[in-house]
A and B are shown apart, each in its own frame.
Chain A
């Protein structure tokens, strides 16, 4: 099976132009930042610390500017022409695969019931089956899964189109789970919609994805942009708002730049089964974990392997009706991030794989760099503190036989300008997305222009406050991976995630101590920097309080998203089915 040339999308600008713009813009910003810092640092002569700090500021600014450029491309490239879709009867057979791993069976199986009902409500006779692929290790949860599946089968009349199997060994984790299914049953279907246990999709969205696959025989993977739903805590709702409000612009920028070598995020996507089987058999990497062994962030690797084989991998951000749930507190976010960190750093072993597209290598590099960037910022802060005692007192009489003092140039305005510029790169994309939403009327879905702009500012403030805490967790993750510690494959916690102050203190006290140490060292070595570093050291000092407070339920009406105004039909269906199953649970317990 070989791919034929993919249909032109007619996106404007082209991927090459978008990539060139993002690269030139980000490198220009980074070079400017590096040079401004060099002239600031060189007032008393160039030291090796100045060169190191300039290099660090160059790399860190490049990363920030790259993100800002992606958002700009997304805003410029709005409204691409709708992708081709097959209008006639759907020919191919599709299976929705739901890998599960110790997740709540009632929540998972009621989601499947909701999606099945959503599909059956359509006047579109596409053949879509469901396969639940369990890797659950806990026997009690496995037992619950089989009972829930039996109930699902009976209630949805699913015999012959709903399947369940559990592996005795979870070799290769999620990627291995899917591979085992493809190698034993894959030939029965043409397409597979890959979901996570917490995924929900409208039936109409699934059928639309199949139609797009049928219209483009070179398309091997179509990724949707899932919206986060059901967030309740301050942290969860801020993340949910950011995902709904800001992500479309970033995703469109990414889609424009990636073109036919797009991303795969592991779920809420459809794949062409035979292309997948041909191209995505993942090997074990040489050496022990964390760098060797099974590939943790398998999705990125599967996407680049499909692109290597000549298939199209595309992100269609216009597809709505795709949902997922997110972490409700900083600790659950950090736990998930630990796994992603190890997975992305493991890609250093894949970067040089033979035959990969240059863009694919760059995409993998970006994933790695995302986890190295915090270390660069910390390195810059540490080098800046160390540079103060090294500077010494200025020499006001540098010339012999000259009786008058020579004052060094005051380069403070340059330092302030640089700080403002970097801060601008951080906030500018979100502010631009906010303005764009107001101008295009998209803000109406978020409670109107005033409420949405207020939410943008609140999210910016909140994310700036918990950024140093996330930076600390991320740095610890990177250091753990670099020192050879394998994080394993912890179960995702989703849903209610309220934390007590005691739990928050236990998990975040080391960050507080780090913040306190940072303040103490800065006070001793470079008291002039105390105020400059307070936005970093302050939130670190208060980490347990922040972790606890952001896990609490958000105020009603805070961070409004479109789903608050009108619940998406499949989510409403799921709510009703879940409530029915839970009610029966309670009745049986009472009886």
Chain B
């Protein structure tokens, strides 16, 4: 059933429950929950910094055998 026109909506509203329109509607209870914003876009330079950090963390290990050979 496609709901298209205002007239249709009004007919349905009248038919749904003519007497009930004035009744207060129960809203969901107040029980808040925090919903922190998630980070979806990397900050500028994020991946460049991550790559640099990865390379630098590997650097001592990469240099060690050379130092042993030279030492």
Q: Which residues of A contact B (CB under 8 A)?
A: 95, 102-107, 109, 131, 138, 140-141, 143-144, 146-151, 153-154, 159-160, 162-165, 179, 181-188, 273-274, 277-283, 285-286, 301, 305, 349-350, 352-354, 491, 493-497, 581, 584-585, 588-589
Contact = CB atoms under 8 A, between A and B. Distances in A.
B9 A184 contact: no
A26 B14 CA distance: 58
Contacts of A163: 26-29
Nearest to A295: B40
Nearest to A159: B26
Nearest to B35: A281
B46 A354 contact: yes
A522 to B, nearest CB: 39
B31 interface: yes
A187 B2 contact: no
B26 A162 contact: yes
Contacts of B17: 147-148, 150-151, 154
B38 interface: yes
B34 interface: yes
Nearest to A493: B2
A107 B14 contact: no
Summarize B's interface: helix, strand, loop or mixed: loop
Given A140-B13, A148-B17, A349 B40 contact: yes
A283 B2 contact: no
Given A182-B33, A283-B41, 20 more contacts: A102-B3, A103-B3, A105-B16, A106-B1, A140-B6, A140-B9, A143-B13, A148-B12, A149-B25, A153-B26, A183-B33, A184-B30, A185-B30, A187-B31, A282-B38, A286-B41, A301-B40, A354-B42, A495-B2, A589-B15
Contact of B12 (A106, A154, A159, A494): A106
A367 B11 CA distance: 41
Contacts of B20: 147, 150-151, 153-154
B18 interface: yes
Contacts of B30: 184-185
Given A182-B35, A589-B11, A151 B29 contact: no
Contact of B35 (A149, A277, A352): A277
Interface residues of B, number: 37
Given A185-B31, A187-B32, A144 B10 contact: yes
B25 A105 contact: no
B59 interface: no
A183 B46 CA distance: 30
Contacts of B16: 105-106, 109, 144, 147-148, 150-151, 581, 585
A146 B13 CA distance: 8
A144 B31 contact: no
Contact of B37 (A154, A281, A585, A588): A281
Interface of B: 1-3, 6, 9-18, 20-21, 23, 25-42, 46-47
A105 B14 CA distance: 12
B27 A104 contact: no
A150 B6 contact: no
A105 B20 CA distance: 15
Counting chain A CB atoms within 10 Å of each CB, the highest count among B11, B15, B20, B25 belongs to B15
The 4 closest A-B pairs by CB, nearest first: A150-B20, A585-B15, A186-B33, A151-B17
Contacts of B23: 150, 153
A285 to B, nearest CB: 7
A241 B43 CA distance: 46
Contacts of B13: 105, 140, 143-144, 147-148
Nearest to B47: A352
B25 to A, nearest CB: 5
Contacts of A188: 28-29, 31
Given A159-B26, A496-B2, A141 B9 contact: yes
A496 B1 contact: yes
A555 B33 CA distance: 51
B67 to A, nearest CB: 35
A6 B10 CA distance: 50
B9 to A, nearest CB: 4
B18 to A, nearest CB: 7
A121 to B, nearest CB: 24
A278 B37 CA distance: 9
10 contacts: A103-B3, A143-B9, A147-B13, A153-B26, A163-B26, A164-B25, A179-B35, A183-B32, A183-B35, A273-B33
Contacts of B3: 102-105, 107, 141, 491
A589 B7 CA distance: 13
A553 to B, nearest CB: 15
